[in-house]
């Protein structure tokens, strides 16, 4: 694409500033203010040579979303995605309906008068069965297209829209967002011998529900998904009260028994490279922590003691956290262990269990008393989401921006929320929902 000679790519923005009067003609504004972009994922930012200095007082996260040209459903999905994030997104009070930098050139100074920090413009089209979305995120005051023109493509419009939304969010915040990640959870129905327990896969908007496995007069526990999204490990507890560890291949539907030990094997957790699985087992009476290759083999005892040690969760750096009541019976705390030396307690007083790390290792979701909560890796409470009715801890999404947990002991729901705020999404389920976790998307 040819570049306007008045514009040059810049790694560090150093725009020139001029004042405009409202009487300037659109032609003059266009000649001074032509925006220039690049192809998708370019690393340069592009500046408009002239901006105005008068801006209103607005939130730094406010975003003007101009409905995209093309398929209206695709545009609405992107808008809905963005409005659920902590960003403050508006489609009101827009100046025209620009869909590209050329459309925007003449009216940019008027947009700058609004004082909205960012705007998103773009379009979608369907070609050979694929949906392609082209868009630009503009830092309005500086007339800058962040990272140039972006393009995403997918085999269906919803997947493409989610990819575009995640990229828009990343361009504005610097944080990745996997909106095509799915959910796996346990769904229970009935009671007694007629009780069923099912392992369910569903899109994060509640669509495309699929039952992976179902057992009767038995219980499925604590699914954990491999980092590549290919496998899910979980426990099945039969009538004899033993719980064995299994692995389900999401691509081939192959089911493999990983662990067959006396006692119950529960709470699997994959290492960050997917090669190992931690779990707890009562094979020796009290629950101890073991490690096994993710493809099976002989379990290795990691730590034991005359007290309960349960719910291990791998950290990105290879250490792990777990819950134990050895300091105070029936009042567990959360500890960190590096496979050597002594464990370090990180929760600070009170009942704390079911820990799990965020992908970057800076946060831990856990059960605080009966509340779903998040703490920093050093134990400081960052968020408390209240009682769930099921004693469920939040689980982090693949990018760490969102969490999911179950709510409701009689009528089950899945609750999805952003760690930093934003809209709370509640997905009703057909039974009692337990232990939801995330499945990263393929892209």
Q: Where does the pLDDT of residue 59 fall: very low under 50, low under 70, confident under 90, or very high at 90 and above?
A: low
Q: Specify the 3-state DSSP secondary structure of 95.
A: coil
**What is the rounded average pLDDT of the residues 69-74?**
96
**β-pairing verdict for 352-357 and 363-368:** antiparallel
Q: Picking from 147-151, 244-248, 260-264, which range would have the lowest pLDDT averaged per residue?
A: 260-264
Give CA separation, 173 vs 7, 85, 147, 151, in Å. 25, 11, 13, 19
Distance (Å, whole) CA 156 – CA 150: 18
44-48, 322-326, 367-371: which range is least confident on average? 44-48
**Residues paired with residue 256 on neighbouring β-strands, in sequence order:** 247
For range 270-284, the mean pLDDT: 95
Q: Where are the domains of the chain?
A: 9-173, 182-439
C-alpha–C-alpha distance, residues 261 and 290, integer Å:
11
Instruction: Give the tens place of pLDDT for each residue, 386-409.
Output: 999 888 999 999 999 999 999 988
Give pLDDT tens digits for 284-321: 888 999 999 999 999 999 998 778 899 999 999 999 99
Nearest to 82 by CA among 179, 181, 9: 179
Q: Which residues pair with 215 in a beta bridge?
A: 197
User: Contact 22/61 with Cβ under 8 angstroms?
Assistant: no
What pLDDT is recorded for position 83? 95
Which tens digit of pLDDT belongs to each residue from 372-383? 999 999 999 999
Q: Give the Cβ contact number of residue 95 at 10 Å.
A: 16
Residue 180 has pLDDT above 90, yes or no: yes
Q: What is the mean pLDDT of the chain?
A: 86
pLDDT digits (tens, 9 = 90+) for 210-224: 999 999 989 999 999
d(CA 378, CA 394): 18
Residue where the block lists tokens 């020796």: 284
- pLDDT 10s digits, 423-434: 999 999 999 999
Assign a CATH topology to domain 9-173: Rossmann fold (3.40.50)
Is CATH 2.120.10.30 the classification given to domain 182-439?
Answer: yes
Half-sphere exposure of 186 (CA within 13 A, CB side): 22
The model carries a pTM of 0.86
Beta strands in 328-401 (DSSP E): 333-337, 344-345, 352-357, 363-368, 371-376, 381-387, 395-396
pLDDT of residue 13: 24
| Contact (Cβ atoms closer than 8 angstroms) between residue 336 and residue 344 | yes
Taking CB atoms within 8 Å and a gap of at least 24, the contacts of 328-331 are none
Tell me the percentage of the chain whose pLDDT exceeds 90: 71
**What pLDDT sits at residue 202?**
97
Identify the residue with better confidence: 371 or 331.
371
pLDDT at residue 267 tops 90: yes
CB 129 within 8 A of CB 110: no
Segment 349-357 mean pLDDT: 93
pLDDT-derived band of residue 45, with 50, 70 and 90 as boundaries?
low
Residues 77-83: contacts with CB under 8 Å, at least 24 apart: 77/157, 77/158, 77/161, 77/162, 77/165, 78/133, 78/161, 78/164, 78/165, 78/168, 81/161, 81/162, 81/165, 81/166, 81/179, 82/120, 82/165, 82/168, 82/169, 83/423
> What's the pLDDT score for residue 37?
36
CA 98 remoteness from chain centre: 30
The yes-or-no verdict on residue 75 having pLDDT over 70 is: yes
378: phi > 0 → left, psi -120 to 50 → alpha, else beta; which?
alpha
């Amino acid at each position: 694409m040819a570049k306007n000679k008045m514009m040059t790519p810049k790694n560090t923005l150093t725009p020139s500033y001029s004042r405009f009067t409202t009487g300037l003609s659109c032609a003059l504004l266009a000649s001074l203010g032509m925006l220039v972009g690049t192809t998708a994922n370019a690393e340069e930012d592009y500046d408009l040579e002239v901006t105005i200095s008068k801006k209103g007082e607005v939130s730094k996260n406010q975003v003007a979303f101009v409905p995209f040209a093309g398929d209206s459903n695709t545009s609405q999905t992107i808008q809905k995605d963005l409005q659920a994030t902590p960003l403050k997104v508006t489609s009101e009070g827009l100046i025209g309906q620009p869909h590209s930098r050329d459309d925007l050139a003449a009216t940019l100074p008027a947009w700058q008068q609004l004082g909205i920090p960012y705007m998103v413009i773009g379009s979608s089209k369907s070609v050979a069965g694929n949906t392609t979305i082209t868009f630009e995120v503009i830092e309005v005051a500086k007339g800058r297209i962040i990272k140039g023109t972006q393009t995403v493509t997918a085999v269906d419009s919803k997947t493409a829209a989610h990819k575009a939304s995640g990229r828009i969010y990343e361009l504005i915040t610097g944080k990745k967002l996997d909106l095509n990640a799915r959910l796996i959870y346990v769904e229970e129905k009935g009671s007694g011998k007629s009780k069923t327990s099912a392992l369910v896969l569903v899109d994060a908007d509640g669509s495309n529900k699929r039952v992976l496995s179902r057992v009767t007069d038995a219980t499925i526990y604590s699914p954990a998904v491999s980092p590549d999204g290919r496998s899910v490990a979980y426990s099945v507890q039969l009538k004899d009260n033993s719980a064995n560890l299994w692995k389900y291949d999401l691509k081939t539907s192959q089911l493999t028994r990983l662990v067959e030990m006396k006692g119950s094997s529960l709470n699997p957790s994959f290492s960050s490279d997917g090669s190992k699985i931690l779990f707890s087992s009562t094979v020796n009476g009290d629950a101890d922590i073991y490690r096994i290759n993710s493809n099976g083999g002989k379990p290795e005892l990691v730590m034991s003691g005359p007290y309960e040690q349960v719910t291990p969760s791998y950290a990105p750096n290879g250490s792990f956290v777990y819950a134990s009541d050895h300091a105070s019976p029936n009042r567990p705390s959360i500890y960190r262990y590096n496979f050597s030396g002594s464990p370090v307690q990180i929760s600070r007083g009170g009942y704390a269990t079911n820990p799990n790390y965020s992908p970057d290792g800076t946060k831990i979701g856990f059960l605080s008393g009966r509340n779903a909560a998040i703490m920093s890796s050093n134990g400081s409470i960052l968020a408390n989401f209240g009682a769930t009715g099921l004693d469920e801890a939040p689980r982090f999404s693949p990018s760490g921006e969102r969490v999911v947990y179950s709510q409701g002991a009689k009528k089950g729901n899945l609750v999805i929320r952003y760690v930093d705020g934003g809209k709370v999404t509640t997905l009703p389920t057909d039974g009692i929902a337990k232990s939801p976790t995330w499945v990263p998307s393929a892209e």
